[in-house]
Structure 1
Amino acid sequence: MNTNQNNRSGNPQSAMAGQGRVVILGAGESGVGAAKLAQAKGFDVFVSDFGIIADKYKSALEKLNVPFESAQHTEALILNATEVIKSPGIPSTAPIVKKLVAQGTPVISEIEFAKRYTTAKTICITGSNGKSTTSLLTYHILKNAGLNVGLAGNIGHSFAAQVAEENYDYYVLEISSFMLDDMFEFKADIAVLLNITPDHLDRYDYKMENYVASKMRIVQNQTADDVFIYCADDEESIKAVAAFQPVAKTFPFSITRKIEPGAYLEAQTITILLEPNKELTMSILSDLALQGKHNIYNSMASGIVAKVLELRNETIRESMGNFKNIEHRLEHVAKISGIDFINDSKATNVNSTWYALESMTADVVLIMGGVDKGNDYNMLKDLVKSKVKAIVCLGKDNKRIHDAFEDDVEIIVNTFSADEATQIAFHLAKRGDAVLLSPACASFDLFKSYEDRGNQFKAAVREL
């Protein structure tokens, strides 16, 4: 425990504690950012992390002179909070959270807290898949258009830290269902729902309706002056929109039918038309840097946001054309002996892997596996049958992958390191094939994170 915590009464910030005591659970990016903002606003701040705090965050808290503890939760220092800001990674079932809720202490997200202290317009993007790509693309378009814009949420630097230190007019926020669960008064000026497919069901009592309700919190508190954008081809989204009846101006997008106002695909051209005679058209072959069916959806969503903000068509097209996708999302690593190696380690659920396979034009050796979150692999079966020649399992327990695909591919091999998986996949592939790391599972059995998994895969490819 940081010794600062033991002499809190001597902390100069305590003199400014007229607003109460804020306790922050979790000392990662969002927690440290929340501490920075809470301290700036005159709260008595304490940070508690049940895990080991990373050195860079420990240093940041020490620099702020914010008291903290690592590898424990001291109830006497937490249960006396006026309000608690909880990391999205901590489930509501955690014992300390249950005690706080039982005694009536408000438990909120960093996003909820930060929004109180900014008048910036928020563009909030959620969905089971495509959030990061769409958030980055939207940010890229707005920045290129000269808007004073920040990027935060589940990506980039903490929203709260940016509110404390910057003065942006707009924020593009990637919002996970875990963040939405702890948002109450927060309002998105522009809300985007990309899709809803089974993910993280272990946090939702394995009930899809609970997960859907969480995602639809993206529209809570919106008014008729706000905007809601959603995919009209996504079955769960259509049902959710019908059930929750958003009151905001609604703009759907589709690649299967013409939608006006909204966005649609026709003859390899995206048309975005929100108002009469103000349309934007883009060729999916020549105007979009991002290829693949899933990226048409992502581009439509970003394009609608840009048109809502009345950006120039030329700026939108130029930005769509020069955007570079994020690391670990269908990232081309190398071509070795005529075999393409593709890193899609960010695919931590089945639907992400479906999108990855759907975009493949070559025969695939698929590296998959890890921590199974209650996955239903049935949706992959047709694509595996038609495109996958072998599966290389990368995880401690691969039984469910074997059970799901033993009738669909001839070869399924177990491996327990990125090096081993990459070498075996290389030997199973031939010139013209692709080796695709798209795990459909979380990474925490063998790796620190999906980034660590992707980086180890890339390093192994370069050693071939």
Structure 2
Amino acid sequence: MGKERIVILGAGESGVGAAILAQKHGFDVFVSDFGGIDDHYKKQLIELNITFEEDRHSASDILNASEIIKSPGIPNNAPIIKEIKEIGIPIISEIEFAKRYTSAKTICITGSNGKTTTTLLTYHILKNAGFNVGLAGNVGNSFAAQVANADFEWYVLELSSFMLDDMYSFKADIAVLLNITPDHLDRYDYKLDNYAASKMRIIQNQTNSDVFIYCSDDEEIIKVLKKSQVHSKKMPFSIETKIEEGAYFLNDNIHININLNDPLTMSITELALQGKHNIYNSMASGIVAKVLDIRNTTIRESMGDFKNIAHRLEHVAKISGVNYINDSKATNVNSTWYALESVSTGVVLIMGGVDKGNDYNMLKDMVRQKVKAIICLGKDNKRIHEAFEDDVDIIVNTFSAHEAVQVAYHLAKKGDTVLLSPACASFDLFKNYEDRGNQFKIAVKEL
């Protein structure tokens, strides 16, 4: 009997990590990418002697697998996926595969917005508290590669709905669901219920010794909770109501009541992360920390000195009294709403790109109140013009970060903020949101 064959579709961070782990456990491994493979990843595959192909999916090399590990970016309607499903070969995510080979405990964070920030803040608190902890999922290095090469006792994992869709026996010891707002609906038959069900997979397989942390102010979460069986211990957080066991917000203070003998109260002025949405993110991370019995002083210090990631409300420069902010990671409408909510000055907003079936209505009030001009940065800006033509006097089309920044420089007055917060994916003009953010930063520095 030959070695069991595992085929990995997609040769990015998660795919190459899965290949490393599969090889370590004696599988016959083949990696296939429909696009070109980045040199950095190609070098790793060559060094490990792992066979791969790029710019195609060869059915003859794929359909003989006993299991397929799929990159989260590949949609279910891709031709090769349909063929695999017809034959009935199981398809799993890198996260599902990696968890088979580790007994580490997992803290899993999902939501339409704020998950990267919350994941990084949670990781920061645990690290400061001396935990032996890894960071993976949508951020950091591949979970599978870390399981193969590191020896962490805990992992903080940022999980997207696409990852959750291909997870079956995986269990989160602590699950966090921040919010559910329309995003990626093109992958869910344009039905919010399908997307919400996908997010709720974060609690599958949990038992009464596990914990489920969620926002009780979020209508969609409350709606889907009514239809879900939850076996784990529920710990909600809220800005609107007082919570007995969980976290709530009152008189500019966050209150975290997990261990009732030792509650944590913290003024929002002490938090490194500002803006209403970040109160939610901080409460979620704070509950995790208290569940793990981390000392209040450590939680306070960590929440006070945390530095957020690049491309998420990142201050770039102040030029002639105008602030330039890079929020390129805002790839959906809700993220852009949060960005506008956290800015108190007049805004010149740079937005646009690949529209994922966006509903811009939720932005209209915020745009009317704060936005002086919209600069579109994308190949097709028709829907942005239609959405906001009655709300803002100036809407301009641009086709490069440099051009967008030049136009913004002329439109912004002293005291204003130029905000790149696209509400769209970046693939029409850029490699990814990081590339878009970096080009914006370069263009600002050239002013």
Q: Tell me whether 1:298 sits opposite 2:281 in the alignment.
A: yes
Q: 1:440 aligns to what? A: 423
Q: Secondary structure at the match of 1:445?
A: coil
Q: 2:131 aligns to what? A: 147
Query: 1:46, 1:237 → 2: CA distance?
Result: 39
Contact 2:128 2:302 in 1 (8 A): yes
Q: 2:368 aligns to what? A: 385
Deviations along 1:98-142, whole A, 9 cap, x unmatched?
A: 111111111000000000000000000000000100000000000
What is the deviation of 1:245? 2.9
Q: Which one-letter code corresponds to 1:21 in the other structure?
A: R
Query: 1:420, 1:49 → 2: CA distance?
Result: 34
Map 1:159-178 to 2 at 5 A: 159-178=143-162
Query: 1:340, 1:302 → 2: CA distance?
Result: 29
What is the deviation of 1:399? 0.7
What is the deviation of 1:244? 1.0
Q: 2:98 aligns to what? A: 114
Q: 2:246 aligns to what? A: 262
Query: 2:233, 2:262 → 1: CA distance?
Result: 17
Query: 1:82, 1:408 → 2: CA distance?
Result: 55
Q: Secondary structure at the match of 1:307?
A: helix
Q: Secondary structure at the match of 2:44?
A: helix
Deviations along 1:157-196, whole A, 9 cap, x unmatched?
A: 0000000000100000000000001001011100000000
Query: 1:73, 1:416 → 2: CA distance?
Result: 33
What is the deviation of 1:276? 2.0
Q: Which one-letter code corresponds to 1:224 in the other structure?
A: N
1:48 to 18, 32, 45: 32
Q: Which one-letter code corresponds to 1:165 in the other structure?
A: N
Deviations along 1:289-334, whole A, 9 cap, x unmatched?
A: 0101111110000000000111000000000011000000000000
How many residues end up aligned between the 2 structures? 447
1:362 to 342, 345, 353: 345
Q: Secondary structure at the match of 1:23?
A: strand
Q: 2:358 aligns to what? A: 375
Q: 2:403 aligns to what? A: 420
Query: 1:23, 1:278 → 2: CA distance?
Result: 50
**How does the TM-score come out when normalised to structure 2?**
0.99
Q: Secondary structure at the match of 2:440?
A: helix
Map 1:70-85 to 2 at 5 A: 70-85=54-69
- The sequence identity of aligned pairs, in percent, is 75
Query: 1:194, 1:356 → 2: CA distance?
Result: 17
Q: Secondary structure at the match of 1:295?
A: helix
Q: Tell me whether 1:94 sits opposite 2:66 in the alignment.
A: no
Query: 2:105, 2:244 → 1: CA distance?
Result: 25
What is the deviation of 1:438? 0.3
What is the deviation of 1:277? 1.7
Q: Tell me whether 1:457 sits opposite 2:440 in the alignment.
A: yes
Query: 2:132, 2:415 → 1: CA distance?
Result: 45
Q: 1:11 aligns to what? A: none
Q: Secondary structure at the match of 1:244?
A: coil
Query: 2:336, 2:176 → 1: CA distance?
Result: 22
Q: 1:34 aligns to what? A: 18
Q: Secondary structure at the match of 1:173?
A: strand
1:198 to 168, 182, 186: 182
Q: 2:380 aligns to what? A: 397
> Structure 1 stretches of 5 or more lacking a match?
1-14
Q: Which one-letter code corresponds to 2:341 in the other structure?
A: E
Q: Secondary structure at the match of 2:227?
A: helix
Q: Which one-letter code corresponds to 2:444 in the other structure?
A: V
What is the deviation of 1:241? 1.4
Would you identify which runs of 4 or more consecutive aligned residues in structure 1 move more than 6 Å? none
Query: 1:448, 1:332 → 2: CA distance?
Result: 22
Query: 1:388, 1:147 → 2: CA distance?
Result: 44
Query: 2:163, 2:169 → 1: CA distance?
Result: 13
Q: Which one-letter code corresponds to 1:164 in the other structure?
A: A
What is the deviation of 1:372? 0.4
What is the deviation of 1:243? 1.5
Q: Secondary structure at the match of 1:361?
A: coil
Q: Which one-letter code corresponds to 2:280 in the other structure?
A: Y
Query: 2:176, 2:341 → 1: CA distance?
Result: 23
Query: 1:24, 1:291 → 2: CA distance?
Result: 40
Q: Secondary structure at the match of 1:58?
A: helix
